[in-house]
Structure 1
Amino acid sequence: MDSAYLRLIIVIAVYLVLGFYGFQAVKTVIKNPWIHTVYRVLFFGTPAALAYFIYSREPGDSFSGMPAISAGVFMAFLVLITILALFMLIEDIYRVVAWMMNHIVGVDDEDQSYMPSRRQFISGLAIATGTVPFAGLLYGMYKGKHNYQVRKYQVEFDDLPASFDGYRIVQISDIHAGSWLKSTDYKRVKYGVDLVNKQEGDLIVFTGDMVNDRADEVYEWSHLLSTLTAPDGKYSILGNHDYGDYYGPFREDPVAKDKNLQNLLTEQRNMGFDPLLNEHRFIRRNGEEFALVGVENWGTGGFSQKGDLDKASEGLTNDSFKVLLSHDPSHWREQVLTHTQQFHLTLSGHTHGFQFGIEIPQLKWSPVQYRYKEWAGIYQQGKHFINVNRGFGFLGYPGRVGIWPEISVITLKKKGEA
């Protein structure tokens, strides 16, 4: 038997066992047949919908839209039944071990072999525990993915030109327009775009991943994104997804891949963005200036490394105040901190904060922190700062739980100034 089919059979078998075993908890606590029917519909319907949308995709299409939504619902249900099955398994193991121990020592357990009251309690606890992540994942798909948060930071520098004291940079990142469905997401995305404008930044920067794979993903959103405005303009860089590296047909057709990238850059310019491709621009006020430096994607862990700091900062001196746009935060530790030029503030994205985690006053956690040391928010090392934006959009799982989409507002301050 082909190994792929064998793996599929194993996955189906595990899913069936989890589903049927988990159903025992539902039957024990809930006697309503309508709830049983809902469970069965989810049990059979979610994998069927996922299979349908996966196999009806066009070859090479990114995993977004309805395939991603069906995968999200399936994942939420899978988490639920796994928790239910785990609780029931532990309870059954306990009963078997207790029966064996009683049998060995000769205790008469005839009246306690089933213990329905304990099974009722364990089943109820399983349902209560499993419902939390199940509801959370569904909420993340319905509301969380557009729960835009404005995060304001103030960063102080000794050598900031005095004219830029109080200067406000608004940063967004990781739009991933191909993940949005205009029919359901437009109003909420428009709210987010309007919220960016309401911050009244002096400058707007976008730090990469405008699309998932193809330039045409952003076409129907171009008019909306073109409404982003700031007095000193808006600038963009490329992220790893913008090159089309993950789109199957482009792997076989480098000409089409390059054309796709040029189309994306053209579209960004049409929207009013100035793409920085290993180059810099000067932002000027009252005879003073700072350099806005933008590099192409550079990342560790197998991501493309097209960024060139030397080229981007050519002609600048170490005395020049610099704000660097670099999509992948791993670039900061690998090259930026040790570069001969000082880049005072780096603005990155890429991590999405994993779109899942916990951020409360005493706890900030996400699985992505085990991959990226700098994964969300402001970090400092010496006189160097980096802000890792949590992203404006989403990819893969079509939602966010605990790590909400972000609009960063960074105010530059001259240290010692009132």
Structure 2
Amino acid sequence: MQKIITSALFVVLLLGVDWYVFQAVRTVSQGASAAAQRLITGGYWFVTLVSLLGIAWMAVSRGTPPTALRTYLTSAILILFVSKLVVVLFLLVDDAGRLARFAFRKLSNPPAPAGADGSPGISRSQFITRLGLVAAAIPFTSLLWGMAKGATDYQVKRVVLKFPNLPAAFDGFKLLQISDLHTGSFNANPEPLERAVALINRQNADLVFMTGDLVNNIATEVEPHIETLAKIQSKHPIYSILGNHDYADYVDWSTQGGASAKQANLDRLKQNHAKIGWKLMLDESHVVEQGGEKIAILGVQNWGAQMRFPKYGNLAQAHAGSGDASFKILLSHDPSHWEAQVLEYSDIDLTLSGHTHGMQFGVNLPGFKWSPVQYVYKQWAGLYSQGKQHLYVNTGLGFIGYPGRVGFLPEITVFELRRA
């Protein structure tokens, strides 16, 4: 009963937003012919009806594996709703202004205002309404572009980091980080990842890291892409870790074999890391040697400060295996781990994380970046420093949920280590 009431209220909210926005559409189309107005009205409510039917279908099929149709339909409905909310904001401002002016006239009873020159023109309300519709086109076109182009518009970001304790043999050493591939979102299409791998290999990195979320949920999602990912080149072994999605915690295993099936899925995913040729690090440490000198690479399972994510990682165990290496790099998927635990280990010089995706939406300009995810994660994109310790949050190579990216495009990060 509670679900029925909640669903009914949700539908009423959607219809309320649609009715409110329709008033703006009707206002700006008043100058059109009667036939054009009928066409606009019919088209508007037809799209609304299709959206409601899509929501109903997704509610009925909830719990089934995501498909391309479901993903893109969800995104289309979301884009329409977000765009309509922008119009609603302008209409609320307009209605508030009209209410204030009405109250003022009732109280003061001044004569009705006349135009400055008596010439016809649009009213203040018409202007705000049109402005609202124009403003709504910004998120609408941006989110559509993010689906058509942004999702696979791979960007190489270059970061130079200086450390006084970096062994001399590693001066100029080049690291490359990728994260959050979410191969399940690519379905079986290898082309985007083939382009990404070619771009990765052109960087000629000494050492490559993958910092979690290889799949959306199921180990088999990566299997059509194993051959492609195995082509990634590195002068030293490629190290990887697990992210929150890799444990398949978001799958209802009660109808799919229970805990044993879930464990079998995780075991299969670990085997897939090995098939790709990556060294999966499970709360452990490895040494990379060059020119007779060494640095330590630590890798932990997923550990986040957010309560909704299980804490699988054991940093103490990974750190214990790193010994007295003079320079240490930690791979930890969730950036909230950094302030919660990592900073307590003062000899961990650089932490590499992912997880946030930059929410796949935001403003990313030189000197200014904004995304809704920043209200959840303090460190969410780019480089952060405290004392001599650094954290870099890669915004991810893949996507999940919304099949696109706006502002925070898919990222390949290249670090050049320098001895200060």
TM-score normalised by length of structure 2? 0.90
Q: 1:332 to 1:250 in 2, by over 3 A?
A: farther
Query: Are positions 1:136 and 2:136 aligned together?
Result: no
Q: Bigger CA drift: 283-292 or 64-73? A: 64-73
Q: 1:117 pairs with 108, 118, 123, which one?
A: 123
- Corresponding residue for 1:348? 353
Residue 342 of structure 1 aligns with an amino acid whose one-letter code is D
Take 2:254 and 2:2, find their aligned partners in 1: how far apart are those partners? Answer: 28
- Corresponding residue for 2:376? 371
- Corresponding residue for 1:290? 295
1:390-405 alignment to 2 at 5 Å?
390-405=395-410
Q: Deviations over 1:13-66 (max 9, x none)?
A: 121121122122222224345554543333222232243245336x363x5633
- Corresponding residue for 2:212? 208
Take 2:325 and 2:352, find their aligned partners in 1: how far apart are those partners? Answer: 20
Q: Deviations over 1:278-327 (max 9, x none)?
A: 11222111222211111111111122222112222334334432111111
Q: How many Å apart are 1:91 and its aligned residue? A: 2.7
Take 2:254 and 2:280, find their aligned partners in 1: how far apart are those partners? Answer: 22
Matched residue of 1:124: which SS?
helix
Query: Are positions 1:324 and 2:330 aligned together?
Result: yes
- Corresponding residue for 1:281? 286
Q: How many Å apart are 1:109 and its aligned residue? A: 4.5
Q: Is the Cα–Cα contact under 8 Å of residues 296 and 308 in structure 1 kept in the other structure?
A: yes
Q: How many Å apart are 1:105 and its aligned residue? A: 3.8
Q: 1:120 to 1:169 in 2, by over 3 A?
A: same
Matched residue of 1:70: which SS?
helix
Take 2:107 and 2:326, find their aligned partners in 1: how far apart are those partners? Answer: 81
Query: Are positions 1:156 and 2:162 aligned together?
Result: yes
How many residue pairs get aligned? The number is 407
Q: Is the Cα–Cα contact under 8 Å of residues 172 and 417 in structure 2 kept in the other structure?
A: yes
Q: How many Å apart are 1:5 and its aligned residue? A: 1.5
Q: Is the Cα–Cα contact under 8 Å of residues 298 and 322 in structure 2 kept in the other structure?
A: no
Query: Are positions 1:78 and 2:81 aligned together?
Result: yes
Query: Are positions 1:411 and 2:410 aligned together?
Result: no
Take 1:3 and 1:55, find their aligned partners in 2: how far apart are those partners? Answer: 16
Q: 2:387 pairs with 382, 386, 392, which one?
A: 382
Matched residue of 1:337: which SS?
helix
Query: Are positions 1:312 and 2:315 aligned together?
Result: no
- Corresponding residue for 1:27? 26
- Corresponding residue for 1:192? 196
1:228-247 alignment to 2 at 5 Å?
228-247=232-251
Q: 1:94 pairs with 93, 97, 101, which one?
A: 97
Take 2:193 and 2:226, find their aligned partners in 1: how far apart are those partners? Answer: 12
Q: 1:3 to 1:56 in 2, by over 3 A?
A: closer
Take 2:50 and 2:78, find their aligned partners in 1: how far apart are those partners? Answer: 12
- For the aligned residue pairs, the C-alpha RMSD in angstroms reads 2.3
Structure 1 stretches of at least 4 aligned residues deviating more than 4 Å after TM superposition: 32-38, 107-112
Matched residue of 2:209: which SS?
strand
Q: Is the Cα–Cα contact under 8 Å of residues 170 and 203 in structure 1 kept in the other structure?
A: yes
- Corresponding residue for 2:12? 13
Q: Deviations over 1:213-255 (max 9, x none)?
A: 1101111122221211112131110111111111111697111
Take 1:413 and 1:211, find their aligned partners in 2: how far apart are those partners? Answer: 33
Q: Bigger CA drift: 406-415 or 364-373? A: 364-373
Q: 1:54 to 1:392 in 2, by over 3 A?
A: farther
Q: Deviations over 1:183-242 (max 9, x none)?
A: 5xx433322222111111111110001111110111112222121111213111011111
Q: How many Å apart are 1:376 and its aligned residue? A: 1.0
Take 1:27 and 1:4, find their aligned partners in 2: how far apart are those partners? Answer: 34
Residue 263 of structure 1 aligns with an amino acid whose one-letter code is R
Take 2:293 and 2:96, find their aligned partners in 1: how far apart are those partners? Answer: 73
Runs of 5+ in structure 1 lacking a partner?
A: none
Matched residue of 2:298: which SS?
strand
Residue 184 of structure 2 aligns with an amino acid whose one-letter code is G
Matched residue of 1:298: which SS?
coil
Take 1:164 and 1:99, find their aligned partners in 2: how far apart are those partners? Answer: 73
Q: Is the Cα–Cα contact under 8 Å of residues 244 and 250 in structure 1 kept in the other structure?
A: no
Matched residue of 1:151: which SS?
strand
Take 2:91 and 2:286, find their aligned partners in 1: how far apart are those partners? Answer: 62
Q: Bigger CA drift: 69-78 or 303-312? A: 303-312
TM-score normalised by length of structure 1? 0.90
Take 2:349 and 2:242, find their aligned partners in 1: how far apart are those partners? Answer: 21
Take 2:113 and 2:48, find their aligned partners in 1: how far apart are those partners? Answer: 36
Query: Are positions 1:224 and 2:214 aligned together?
Result: no
Q: 1:258 to 1:29 in 2, by over 3 A?
A: same
Residue 27 of structure 1 aligns with an amino acid whose one-letter code is R
- Corresponding residue for 1:249? 253
Residue 225 of structure 1 aligns with an amino acid whose one-letter code is L
Q: 1:350 to 1:198 in 2, by over 3 A?
A: same
Q: How many Å apart are 1:398 and its aligned residue? A: 2.0
Residue 232 of structure 1 aligns with an amino acid whose one-letter code is H
What is the percentage of aligned positions where both structures have the same residue?
39
